[in-house]
C-alpha cells in the first residue's frame, strides 16, 4: 500500500511538471511571436511553432496560415480528423495522408 501511494505521488508530480512546462513553452512562444512587427509575421510565427511542436492549439492563432498549420500537423500525426480544419488544403491533406499511410479508405 505504501509503494502505491509513492507511485501515485510520483505520477502526480510528473504530470504537474509536464503541465507547467507546457504552459511555460506556450507563454514563451506567445511572447516571441507577438514581438513581430506585422500581423502576417505574428501569424506565420504561430504556425511555424505549432508545426514544430505538433500543437494544434497554436494553429488557432495563425490566422491566414491556419489551414496549412492543421495540414502539416495532420501529416506529422497521421491524423485524418485534422484535415477537416485544413481550409485550402483539405484535398491535399486527405490525399497525402492516404498515400503516407497506405489507407485509401478515406478517399
pLDDT for position 17: 47
**Cell, residue 25:** 513553452
pTM of the model: 0.73
Rounded-to-integer distance, Cα 49 and Cα 23, Å: 14
Residue by residue, pLDDT tens for the chain (107 residues) are 455 555 555 555 555 545 545 555 566 666 788 888 899 999 999 999 999 989 999 999 999 999 999 999 999 999 999 999 999 999 999 999 999 999 888 87
**Cell, residue 53:** 511542436
User: Which strand (E) or helix (H) includes residue 15?
Assistant: helix 2-34
pLDDT for position 4: 57
pLDDT for position 36: 85
Amino acid at each position: 500500500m505504501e509503494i502505491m501511494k509513492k507511485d501515485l505521488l510520483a505520477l502526480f508530480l510528473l504530470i504537474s511538471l509536464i503541465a507547467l512546462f507546457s504552459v511555460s513553452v506556450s507563454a514563451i512562444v506567445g511572447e516571441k511571436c507577438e514581438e513581430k512587427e506585422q500581423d502576417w509575421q505574428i501569424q506565420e510565427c504561430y504556425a511555424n511553432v505549432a508545426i514544430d511542436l505538433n500543437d494544434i492549439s497554436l494553429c488557432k492563432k495563425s490566422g491566414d496560415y491556419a489551414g496549412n498549420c492543421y495540414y502539416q500537423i495532420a501529416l506529422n500525426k497521421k491524423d485524418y480528423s485534422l484535415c477537416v480544419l485544413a481550409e485550402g488544403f483539405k484535398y491535399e491533406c486527405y490525399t497525402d495522408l492516404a498515400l503516407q499511410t497506405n489507407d485509401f479508405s478515406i478517399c
